[in-house]
Amino acid sequence: MSFTHLNVSSAYSFHFGTAKPDELAKAASALGFEALAITDLNGLYGAVKHIGSCLKQNIAPIVGVRLNVQHKGNVTILARGHNNGIGWAALCRIISAAQKKSKKEVSISQKDLAALMKTDNKANCTILLGPDSDFGQATILANATVAAQKLLEWQKLLPYKSALAVEIVSHLTEPGTNYSTMQAKRMLQLAKTIGITPVITNAVRYLEPDDALTGDVLDAARHLEALGLFDPQPNAQAWLKPASLMEKLALEITESKTLALELISNTEVLAKQLRLDPVSDCGWSKPKTPEKSALGIEGNPFEVLWQKAHTGINWRYPNQSEDKLLPIRHRLHQELITINKLGFATYFLTVADVAQMIRDMRIRTAARGSGAGSMVNYLLGISSVDPIEHELLFERFLSTERSSLPDIDIDVESARRHEIYRAIFKRYGGNRVTLLSMQSTYRGRGAVRDGGLALGFEPDQIDEIAKSIWRFSARDFRGMLGKKPELRALAAQLDTDRRLNLLVDVTERLDRLPRHISMHPCGVILGNEQLLSHTPVEPSGLGLPMSQFDKDDMDPMGMLKLDILGVRMQSSMAYAIREIERVSKKSIDLDSIARDDAETFKQIRTTNTLGVFQIESPGQRELTGKHQPTEFNDLTIQISLFRPGPMKGNMISPYLDGRHGIIKPDFIHPDLEPILKSTHGVVIFHEQLLKILNVMTGCSLAKADELRRSLEKDRKFVEKFFKENATKRGYSRVVVDRIWSVLDGFGSFGFCKAHGAAFALPTYQSAWLKTHYPTEFLAGLFTHDPGMYPKRLLLAEARRLGVKILGVDVNRSKDEYLVEKTHDGLAIRMALTDLYGISGAEISRIIENAPYKDLADFYLRANPARSTAKNLALIGALDQLGSNSQDHTRGDVLERVRQLSALKSRPKLTKDQPMLDFDLIDLMPKGNPEFTKELQLESEMDLLGMDVTDHQLAKYQPMLDQMGVVRASELVGLRSKTDVLVAGVRVATQSPPMRSGKRVVFITLDDGTGCSDATFFDQAQERSSHVLFNTKLMLVSGKTRRTGVKGVSVMAENAWDLNQLWQQYLKENLVAVEN
């Protein structure tokens, strides 16, 4: 006899279920079940994955939710199927209604639930009243009359056929307790008496009995308490039992073979009504794009797209001759044909509409990813790189070989991202838009933390262990214990510490389980008017509703997801342009500047690329030194090369050797020369691979991309296809074999050129701004902090470039780094925002009430906290407020602030008598010493984290000169293998994984003239181990190593703490003076 489980919590019942939907569906199919339900707590977080897994296993999906009904306990609500989605829609709306109230208390009132469950006086869902419902509880805690009343109440509220079923469960717990056979018997009896269908489930929360231990640990994580401090689950019975055991259970409950069969068959009858048809019920794979009316278009969407794209030609290619336009039109028509075949016209119109809206808001945007390979995207203004000029392929982005909606990612100014989200909600309406969610899963450290909590470890001890879990999956924690040196100490303790041993086991159990849901950092779902009937939503941290589906659910649900990613560099550039316009009254259209500016490339080639998008890291700077880019395409290549794939594929050296003429490129066959010429014979890009396959096998580019995608999984198939077809087309065996070895080696290592080119644009734009408007550009960097380095390095860079920095001044500073005109040109005024301990409210008060005539005035009207006032004085932000500031030292200012702070209460401002009492004591102290340069620097470092007035290294200069320390800027003039000493402030430490597996440490030091990069191999690491990771100011000895025309790094031999040397130096010099 067949059976279906109707109450199954997956791992997406966070901190409750232990099995993922695919595991459950697979097991169900293996057990011979024809259908399986998923009923997660409070949502459909795992529902789409469940349906997908069921389709794969060829069983029927059933979907429901476990929800709290206010004052009525927890019930299971299941969507009824094969009703054109009425059940699914009701389920979505019921969940959204329950989620509306607050994140902490998800629940729905019985009345609201009843109202949503009714369509045309029929029930669209079925509620299971189980042991956790008010009825079920009453059978344990109260008498039969009370329990019967509860059941009658439900029946009265939902008098429709199949709206209710009583859920009989026995977890074989102690007689008389919840989930006991005794309770099941009572519930069954009352269901029969009152006339509500009883069904049997196992209220499943794990796949196998063994998973109950994982369940215990999850319970502890949910309770936020150690095991033993709360009531644990009663036993390990809540697993996905096979039909035979469910029949046995039914027999035990009913004590009659007939009645047991009846109970099972009731369940099966209901299960059949609940089976969902993914397509007609859930809109599986059916694209749900906004309606024409929402996009403001009329007529056939494809015709509108055709029109818009053609209009775009005049915009993107003004005044072009007809023969130049011919290939453009040809390309456009090919793309449009594909788009039409796939029926994606509305999708492109939607994305274009959003892109236009963002531009209308005057927010900078750029496309990212393979979408930049589309001419349609270029003509619609979605992307800004010309795919023909940059040899990008549409097929890498979209082809008739795949039918999923393509990803178009849009980068925007990070500071205005939420503004865009709100505008999208407004433009398309809250019924068509929701944010995307994402599920975080347990990884090593989180798993150790929650495992430790469950076992009652002290937080300190857990922290210690968590720190040692680094770059390996906690799933094989035990296996790693013997292998990783950092785990040796832990491994030794296991023999004697039982609890620690358990911790390793439970950590392995938790790893990879879903942990919680949060807002996706950039995804927005854009749908039609029925969107909220297709996905349940809940409040996000942003206040806007968020779908319970994640990015993997989008494609199966036919939902259109836009990735609108906040990029700080875009904010920085927008800021720079705004400052140029404000201060110099020049308006600049960054997207239309020529992309071959010689000055810009000259500046890039110096390797002083700090602050430039994508190429500012030490590694990229070194590569810039070797590569010496001269045109836009070089930037595309360089960005693409410095990626894990091409680096692992060892593409960099052969490319550089070819570029610098050290080796002559080998194109293997003349047919490949046009494809590989620009990369000197090295296959770097996916696009090149596609073209090679296309030329040599005659397959279409679309087919070629499919082959590329299967290269990793099904290498043999691709090899056979390539060799057969290339041979057929007359290529010699030698050529075919050699090229196959290249393609085979390429594997998954290449990079999508469209992606590289899309990135190269902001790279070029930021380099251009840095070259021509360094002051404004740096102001943007200071304000939006897009890079990887500390702000103090930007200061060093400003000094190096001769950009003037003006200190914080309460009369002039704002919450942004503004460009100020001074008598000798432009300068950057530091903002108030970087002062240690200052609050947002203090900043706005200071700005609103400025200017101030003196210290008392400032103290009264800006009303800063005492510590803030003192800190401002220490960094000199109040220097201008000493009356006749020339006569007063910073010491005087500080003293005055102390006086003011000492007053017990600040006089309140009144309109009639402004600060009369206060003025009386406004006597500026005199004669306090001026701050020494050292004290100034120290205050700046302490309170701003930046050395404003001078470089931190300046004070050591006498010693450094005496030792003959070389400045970073001088390195480039030295021969290779020169013995050198370099010194500086550590700005970056990197230890990338190496092909050899050995650890190499790269340390970047800044000495005010630029950055020097030191490389530490094994021996040097050992010699300098005490300073390698912690010391801020360092001296490094080593040999120069030339890596390119402008590239020099230091092969370190040893390193010291500069401060220690300094103390010694002072001591010795004192002795010298005394002698």
Site residues for another protein per CB under 8 A: 171-175, 180-181, 209-210, 212-214, 216, 227-228, 232-237, 454-456, 478, 498-499, 501-502, 505-506, 508-509
> What one-character DSSP code corresponds to residue 414?
G
CB 761 within 8 A of CB 386: no
Closest CA to 410 of 437, 371, 438: 371
Which residue, 377 or 507, is less far from another protein as judged by CB? 507
Residue type for 649, please?
G
- In this structure, what is the dihedral angle of CA atoms 769, 770, 776, 782, given to the nearest 10 degrees? 120
Residue type for 642, please?
F
Burial class (CB within 10 angstroms; exposed 0-12, middle 13-18, buried 19+) of 155 = middle
Which residue, 455 or 1052, is less far from another protein as judged by CB? 455
**Alpha helix stretches (DSSP H) within 382-536:** 417-428, 444-454, 459-468, 477-481, 488-494, 498-510, 531-534
Which residue, 181 or 370, is less far from another protein as judged by CB? 181
- Which residues are registered as beta bridge partners of 1002? 990, 1015
Which residue, 181 or 766, is less far from another protein as judged by CB? 181
- In whole angstroms, give the CA distance from residue 732 to residue 737: 9
- Which residues are registered as beta bridge partners of 821? 826
Residue 90 CA from chain centroid, whole number: 32
- In whole angstroms, give the CA distance from residue 419 to residue 163: 44
Q: What is the DSSP string of 559-594?
A: -EEEEEEEEHHHHHHHHHHHHHHHHH-----GGGS-
Which residue, 40 or 219, is less far from another protein as judged by CB? 219
Which residue, 228 or 430, is less far from another protein as judged by CB? 228
CB 385 within 8 A of CB 757: yes
Which residue, 47 or 506, is less far from another protein as judged by CB? 506
CB of 248 to another protein, least distance (A): 10
State residue 352 phi and psi, 5-degree precision.
-60, -40
CB of 235 to another protein, least distance (A): 4
CB of 219 to another protein, least distance (A): 12
CB of 442 to another protein, least distance (A): 14
Which residue, 300 or 501, is less far from another protein as judged by CB? 501
- In whole angstroms, give the CA distance from residue 989 to residue 992: 10
Which residue, 86 or 212, is less far from another protein as judged by CB? 212
CB of 212 to another protein, least distance (A): 5
State residue 505 phi and psi, 5-degree precision.
-65, -45
CB of 220 to another protein, least distance (A): 9
Q: How many CA atoms lie within 13 A of 547 on its CB side?
A: 32
Q: What is the DSSP string of 4-64?
A: ----B--TTSTTT--S-HHHHHHHHHHTT-SEEEEEEETS-TTHHHHHHHHHHHT-EEEEE
CB of 454 to another protein, least distance (A): 8
Which residue, 18 or 766, is less far from another protein as judged by CB? 18
CB of 441 to another protein, least distance (A): 17
CB of 227 to another protein, least distance (A): 5
Please name the residues in contact with 656: beta carbons below 8 A apart, sequence gap of 6 or more: 626, 627, 662, 1044
CB of 214 to another protein, least distance (A): 8
> What one-character DSSP code corresponds to residue 476?
G
CB of 11 to another protein, least distance (A): 14
Which residue, 194 or 213, is less far from another protein as judged by CB? 213
CB of 29 to another protein, least distance (A): 22
For the chain, the distance separating the N- and C-terminal CA atoms, rounded to the nearest angstrom, is 105
- In whole angstroms, give the CA distance from residue 924 to residue 895: 9
Which residue, 232 or 619, is less far from another protein as judged by CB? 232
CB of 346 to another protein, least distance (A): 48
Which residue, 183 or 688, is less far from another protein as judged by CB? 183
Residue 125, H or E segment: strand 125-129
